[in-house]
Amino acid sequence: MPTDKTIVLCDCNRTMTLDAKGLAQALALGAPLTIHTELCRREAAAFNAAVRGGDCLVACTQEAPLFAELAEQAGAGAELKFVNIRETAGWSKESRQATPKIAALLAMALLPEPEPVPSVSYKSGGQLLIVGPAGVALQWAERLEHSLEVSVLATGEAGADAAGATLPAVRSYPVWSGRLQSVQGWLGAFEVSWEQANPIDLETCTRCNACIHACPEQAIDFSYQIDLAKCMSHRACVKACGDIGAIDFERAARARSEHFDLVLDLGAVPAIKLAQPPQGYFAPGRDPLDQALAAAQLAQMVGEFEKPKYFSYNAKICAHSRSAKAGCSNCIDTCSTGAISADGDHIKVEAQLCMGCGGCATVCPSGAMTHVYPRVADLGRRLKTLLATYRGAGGRDACILFHNAGASRDLIAALGRAARPGKDGGLPARVIPLELHSVAAIGIDTLLGALAYGASQLLLLADTAEADEYGAALGKQMRHAQTLVSALGYAGTHFKLIATQEARLLERELWALAPAQGVSAPAGFNLGQEKRSSLEFAIEHLARLAPAPQEEIAMEAGAPWGQVRVDRSTCTLCMACVGACPASALVDGRDQPMLKFIERNCVQCGLCVNTCPEKAVTLAPRLLLGAQAKAERTLHEAVPFNCVRCGKPFGNKQMIENMVGKLGGHPMYAGGGLARLQMCADCRVVDMMENKSEQSILGIRQ
């Protein structure tokens, strides 16, 4: 792999075994690489010389800040890129066998950066609403009012919930009271709704204390809310309030709503019960430390912000709905942020709420929803390069370990640091980590594509929280893929989800995993953004080299492949199913009363089943291989019905007979009207004009 970057390697004080000649050959560099020993200390001058020569790939992430500083001091203007080969390869029980993996990691890091994806913007002016019991909400308002534009919504009844709550002497920020109804939106665009339930309206109240002195039950304290459990309805407070009118026992609960940029929810139960709440919403509960951490983050969320737009949506091939008939709702059911909702026959995604997990794209059968961070095409190129380099350097039974950039990256690093190189621990030499924004974005197209490129196994490393959110969806997709490859005769477990936050448990899982059987030759195609096309290429390659070739593979319900079955005794060939099919799997017979099916196009969304007025359609999941899956197959055909007047065919015999049978007893079709149902459109008009007894608007007299 020729490159214009200088590869800078260091064996970290001789704790790694690096094969300079073998790596150079695997990367097609032409000359052996230089292996440094103390690049970040004694040999820093060698690094300075390298960056003066141009862009560099530095095989060390621990000292990335130091190397960036040295490059800046050198004034070379070189671009630096960093890759970790120490914890991921060099520090392992099998460190001496890790040269193919190290070469693969370097080759992948040498690839050019993909094109940037579109961005989503937020704008926050610092308008913060603090929601919760009056005592704690007011305390945080006092702390934050100098850095943010604070408002307070005191929730709960007066008394225990308001213990210790005293409204500030200076009215420097709004204070409301009421029952929280809803919080919707995102950073810079929250809408909060509540009901004013207490008789005292804190907006109107002047805090003159007249009501406190007048109340004989002492049901009002300096929170200026009435404890209704103590109140005996003397209404002395109303009289004391006078023309100010802040107290009204007859007031119906008043709905209110306001817009805010940020929300700090201090309630025991959060108003937004999502695994991943929107940006700008914090619900630390009652723990003081968690509240302090949330407050610190809020202070940093003022200004304009951007994040990637993680998804792309093609409404034309979406199988969610047609003509108000329900179809696929996989993405809505999977989304953990509430970003996806139904929108007529399609779906709507709030880009500001999307956190980029990619679970929606993973479960989408048609490919209407795709994850673009990274794009499937870019991820496919990385996989293809990584596996080709690994194989070219003599590596066998490659196992790709997909992991995220947060907790899972730290877990892998901890595993490497705890290893004794050449003796025990660390990652096996055949396990190659590949970092992603989210492992939930790994769909069946990527899984089967990587297998076709030559991987032996694909592992997804998630923490327990991720597994709770997406484990079921990922597990189902992996079962579909495993069913397919097992049926084709590829032995072993090829796909596995590992959910842990413990390094030792991960280590045991990886070392206990036996290699699975892979393809005898890698595929040459490229993964693309069209999910069905990528799947087709991958499956064709796996089927062509299969140890046990198959023509048909049985799949479980929910698989994205299958056939449509039609009950010919009830189907009238109305073609409602054809109009509903978003994938053109069902087609009509053009000029013949015929229903045809192209199995490769079917995504098993169920729209045809839910649309059929005769309930004649059912689904049967399976994977049909070979040319027969691409060919049109006739599901039902009928004898044409000829017009009883002119003899021209205009429908099918079964449909006309059913219609005559259902309408034959209706008074509207008495006389010659029933015969008119058996005529084509032109003859019906002629028959009506020739019938002199036919009622006509022309014969109506005023």
Predicted confidence band of residue 693 (pLDDT cuts 50, 70, 90): low
Q: What is the mean pLDDT of residues 424-443?
A: 96
Does residue 260 share a domain with residue 180? yes
For residue 228, the model assigns a pLDDT of 86
pLDDT at 261 over 70: yes
For residue 672, the model assigns a pLDDT of 63
Residue in this structure with the two tokens 């140890």, named with its chain if needed: 547
Does residue 192 share a domain with residue 61? no
Domain of 412: which CATH number? Answer: 3.40.50
Residue at 684 is within a domain? yes
Domain of 350: which CATH number? Answer: 3.30.70.20
Q: What is the mean pLDDT of residues 467-493?
A: 95
Radius of gyration of the chain (CA): 34
Does residue 421 share a domain with residue 326? no
Does residue 249 share a domain with residue 158? yes
Per-residue pLDDT tens digits for 578-598: 999 999 999 998 878 899 999
Q: How far is CA 624 from the centre of its chain?
A: 29
Q: How far is CA 250 from the centre of its chain?
A: 48
Does residue 598 share a domain with residue 536? no
pLDDT at 74 over 70: yes
Q: How many domains does the chain have?
A: 6
Q: What is the mean pLDDT of residues 282-291?
A: 94
Domain boundary among 637, 652, 677: 637
Does residue 483 share a domain with residue 448? yes
pLDDT at 670 over 90: no
Per-residue pLDDT tens digits for 340-384: 999 999 999 999 999 999 999 999 999 999 999 999 999 999 999
Does residue 337 share a domain with residue 415? no
Does residue 346 share a domain with residue 391? no
Does residue 615 share a domain with residue 660? no
Residue at 556 is within a domain? no
Strands 586-589, 592-598: pairing is: antiparallel
For residue 158, the model assigns a pLDDT of 47
- C-beta of residue 226 within 8 angstroms of C-beta of residue 202: no
Give the mean pLDDT of the chain: 92
Three-class SS of 402-422:
EEECCHHHHHHHHHHHCCECC
Q: What is the mean pLDDT of residues 509-529?
A: 96
Spatial distance between the Cα atoms of 586 and 551, rounded to a whole number of angstroms: 21
Predicted confidence band of residue 699 (pLDDT cuts 50, 70, 90): low
Predicted confidence band of residue 695 (pLDDT cuts 50, 70, 90): low
Residue at 105 is within a domain? no
Residue at 87 is within a domain? no
pLDDT at 391 over 70: yes
pLDDT at 419 over 80: yes
Residue percentage of the chain with pLDDT more than 70: 96
Per-residue pLDDT tens digits for 538-556: 999 999 999 999 999 999 9
Q: What is residue 237's three-state secondary structure?
A: helix
Q: What is the mean pLDDT of residues 685-701?
A: 68
Alpha helices in 488-620 (DSSP H): 503-512, 531-544, 576-580, 607-611
Residue at 512 is within a domain? yes
**Burial of 511 from C-beta contacts in 10 A (0-12 / 13-18 / 19+):** middle
Residue in this structure with the two tokens 């792309």, named with its chain if needed: 312
Q: What is the mean pLDDT of residues 40-52?
A: 93
Spatial distance between the Cα atoms of 245 and 80, rounded to a whole number of angstroms: 68
What are the backbone angles phi and psi of residue 443, rounded to the nearest 5°? -95, 180
Predicted confidence band of residue 250 (pLDDT cuts 50, 70, 90): confident
Q: Identify the residue with better confidence: 381 or 572.
A: 381
Domain boundary among 25, 58, 82: 82
**Burial of 206 from C-beta contacts in 10 A (0-12 / 13-18 / 19+):** exposed
Q: Identify the residue with better confidence: 645 or 394.
A: 394
For residue 156, the model assigns a pLDDT of 72
pLDDT at 701 over 60: no
Show Cβ contacts of residue 533 under 8 Å, excluding neighbours closer than 6 positions: none
pLDDT at 191 over 70: yes
Q: Identify the residue with better confidence: 102 or 570.
A: 102
Does residue 411 share a domain with residue 345? no
Spatial distance between the Cα atoms of 510 and 496, rounded to a whole number of angstroms: 11
Does residue 482 share a domain with residue 406? yes
Residue at 505 is within a domain? yes
Predicted confidence band of residue 124 (pLDDT cuts 50, 70, 90): very high
Predicted confidence band of residue 458 (pLDDT cuts 50, 70, 90): very high
Residue at 493 is within a domain? yes
Per-residue pLDDT tens digits for 132-183: 998 899 999 999 999 999 999 998 754 444 445 788 888 889 999 888 999 9
Predicted confidence band of residue 671 (pLDDT cuts 50, 70, 90): low
For residue 157, the model assigns a pLDDT of 54
What range defines the domain where residue 327 resides? Answer: 309-370
For residue 499, the model assigns a pLDDT of 95
- C-beta of residue 408 within 8 angstroms of C-beta of residue 438: no
Domain of 173: which CATH number? Answer: 3.50.50
CA distances from 167 to 37, 197, 205, 276, 569 (A): 65, 18, 11, 33, 76
Spatial distance between the Cα atoms of 111 and 83, rounded to a whole number of angstroms: 12
pLDDT at 27 over 70: yes
Show Cβ contacts of residue 70 under 8 Å, excluding neighbours closer than 6 positions: 44, 47, 48, 51
Domain boundary among 319, 343, 370: 370
Does residue 313 share a domain with residue 287? no
For residue 612, the model assigns a pLDDT of 96
What are the backbone angles phi and psi of residue 432, rounded to the nearest 5°? -110, 115
Q: What is the mean pLDDT of residues 331-342?
A: 95
Domain of 612: which CATH number? Answer: 3.30.70.3270
Q: Per mean pLDDT, which range of 102-116, 210-224, 502-516, 653-667 is the poorest?
A: 653-667
Residue at 602 is within a domain? yes
pLDDT at 297 over 70: yes
For residue 696, the model assigns a pLDDT of 57
